[in-house]
Amino acid sequence: DTGVSQDPRHKITKRGQNVTFRCDPISEHNRLYWYRQTLGQGPEFLTYFQNEAQLEKSRLLSDRFSAERPKGSFSTLEIQRTEQGDSAMYLCASSLALLAWDTQYFGPGTRLTVL
């Protein structure tokens, strides 16, 4: 299977702990996106990378959140000092941005529960 993969699929943590999620995009895709989805809502954009460069960050991405894509392949999203409001599904997507309009393909997500 060469789709987008995310690890772990589920994470339960206590408030105040740090968590890190990993995303492996489709291999030839140069863009990688992170989204957050809460119950009853659509995915909300957090940030995206073109190769290793982080090009845009949403105001939703507080200073407790940091994302990296060091070699332009996989990416990590770290949340420091987690809060109960961080509980959500974190989705990763990738795309091949060669055309004027590119389509993002999503991974299965990591569901975070902060107790």
Partner 1 sequence: DQQVKQNSPSLSVQEGRISILNCDYTNSMFDYFLWYKKYPAEGPTFLISISSIKDKNEDGRFTVFLNKSAKHLSLHIVPSQPGDSAVYFCAASSDNNDMRFGAGTRLTVKP
Q: Residues in the site for partner 1, rule: CB under 8 A?
A: 4, 6, 31, 33, 40-45, 48, 55-56, 58, 91, 93, 97, 100-109
DSSP state of 3: S
Compare residues 79 and 93 and give the one whose CB is closer to partner 1: 93
The distance of closest approach from Cβ of residue 64 to partner 1 in the complex, given in angstroms and rounded to an integer, is 21
The distance of closest approach from Cβ of residue 4 to partner 1 in the complex, given in angstroms and rounded to an integer, is 7
The distance of closest approach from Cβ of residue 13 to partner 1 in the complex, given in angstroms and rounded to an integer, is 19
The distance of closest approach from Cβ of residue 96 to partner 1 in the complex, given in angstroms and rounded to an integer, is 11
- Tell me the pairing of strands 88-95 and 110-114: antiparallel
Compare residues 74 and 106 and give the one whose CB is closer to partner 1: 106
* Residue at 42: amino acid letter: G
Per-residue CA distances from 13 to 31, 61, 71 (Å):
29, 19, 28
Quick one: tokens of 98? 């060669």
Compare residues 82 and 94 and give the one whose CB is closer to partner 1: 94
Q: Are 106 and 2 in contact (CB under 8 A)?
A: no
Alpha-carbon span 27 to 46, nearest angstrom: 22
Compare residues 58 and 80 and give the one whose CB is closer to partner 1: 58
